[in-house]
Amino acid sequence: MPEPTYQPMTPAEVRVLRDELDAKGKKLVFTNGCFDLLHAGHVRYLNQARALGDAMVVALNSDASVRELKGPSRPVNRERDRAEVMAALRAVDAVVIFGDKRATALIEEIRPHIYAKGGDYTVDSLNPEELAALKSARSQISILPLVAGRSTTNTIERMMKPADGSGPLRLGVLGSGVGSNLKAILQAIEEHALDAEVVVAISDEKDSTFLKTAKAAHVPAHFVDGGHNPRRFNDAAHKEIAEHLQRAQVEVVVLAGFMRILKEPVLTAYADRIVNVHPSLLPMFKGARAVQDAIDEGELETGCTVHLVTSEIDAGRILAQATVPILVGDTAEVLHQRIKVEEHKLLPKVLSEWPRK
């Protein structure tokens, strides 16, 4: 294998770059970190940081300083490799390696125009020496948000999970409407709050936002023609659904705003593995008018329920519920939106706690 051609810069060379930019009225951004196993969170952060100025230098912690900061098992990748990968990114113009735990000496030497830092810091919670160096270099400090669910530690944890063959929970999601619950599931997966994969999405509405959402997320999506009765499926449609689910090796079926009644052979094939989300506190207000019915009954609160699906409508075992107050003047539409906010938390949570064999 050929040796890497990338040579990290020295701090003095970066200072020259900074002064050249300065002479042209341009700005150098500086950021620092370990950047051990690069992930999308790093890339998004670096792109944002780079957009603050006209060029960017990344100060990489040396192997010794990563060990000191993160423990003896880190870094996974040695500093030369990390520098080479880092320098190949579009957002990065220069890489410098530094051996201290803190970047104070580098900041003093380079005097960057902008200092970017990711995470939960505030200007006041920065290391006092680094802060003093930044103040004396008159660097502008910019704290950028980190991307939820992305971190090197997180990646390593997932890689270290015992290889018991469990893997992410394979979900088949069925819906007829807007698909906001499908979206919530996809987002929870994206943020690693839910270890699952939506392996198939099925709808009885050809032009539904539900199907569009699935396709946009690259989930295999199918329209199944259920026949004329909007609440029931004909036998052929049931068979087709069962085939889609089995072909995709679905473990749990999720009814997320699915408006038709599900029957055999799906019910038996997935007994105790079909969940529905319903906009009321079951057993109160079953059926399709649940939100309006709760208002009409003069209830002070309603909510949502995640429950198992059986042949009896909205009557299977309740897995979780959340309450939502009914406010004076609530229309069904307004109240339903507030209920959905709770559904979007409750459904992914139930799925994330799904017992595995």
- C-beta of 83: minimal distance to ligand GRF in Å? 46
- C-beta of 277: minimal distance to ligand GRF in Å? 4
- C-beta of 304: minimal distance to ligand GRF in Å? 6
User: What's the CA gap between 25 and 246, in Å, rounded?
Assistant: 62
∠205-210-213 over CA atoms, to 5°?
140
3-state SS of 110-145?
HCCCEEEEECCCCHHHCCHHHHHHHHHCCCEEEEEC
| Residue 169, beta-bridge partner list | 196
Nearer to ligand GRF, 104 or 208 (CB): 208
- C-beta of 148: minimal distance to ligand GRF in Å? 21
- Kindly calculate the radius of gyration of the chain based on its CA atoms and give it in whole angstroms: 27
Nearer to ligand GRF, 11 or 177 (CB): 177
Tokens representing 1 are 């294998």
- C-beta of 328: minimal distance to ligand GRF in Å? 22
Tokens representing 97 are 């390696």
- C-beta of 246: minimal distance to ligand GRF in Å? 24
Nearer to ligand GRF, 18 or 336 (CB): 336
- Given the rule CB under 6 A, which residues bind ligand GRF? 175, 177-181, 210, 256-257, 277-279, 304, 340, 343
User: How far, in whole angstroms, is CA 25 from its chain's centroid?
Assistant: 39
Nearer to ligand GRF, 111 or 183 (CB): 183
- C-beta of 280: minimal distance to ligand GRF in Å? 8
CB count within 10 Å of CB 193 equals 16
- C-beta of 184: minimal distance to ligand GRF in Å? 8
CB 64 within 8 A of CB 99: yes
Nearer to ligand GRF, 31 or 305 (CB): 305
In the complex, residue closest to ligand GRF by CB: 257
Nearer to ligand GRF, 32 or 181 (CB): 181
CB 60 within 8 A of CB 33: yes
Nearer to ligand GRF, 178 or 267 (CB): 178
Nearer to ligand GRF, 238 or 278 (CB): 278
Nearer to ligand GRF, 112 or 279 (CB): 279
User: What's the CA gap between 232 and 235, in Å, rounded?
Assistant: 10
CB 199 within 8 A of CB 214: no
Residues 6+ apart with CB under 8 A from 165: none
User: What's the CA gap between 148 and 159, in Å, rounded?
Assistant: 18
- C-beta of 340: minimal distance to ligand GRF in Å? 5
User: What's the CA gap between 309 and 286, in Å, rounded?
Assistant: 13
SS3 275: strand
Please name which of 264, 280, 272 lies closest in space to residue 338, comparing C-alpha atoms. Answer: 280
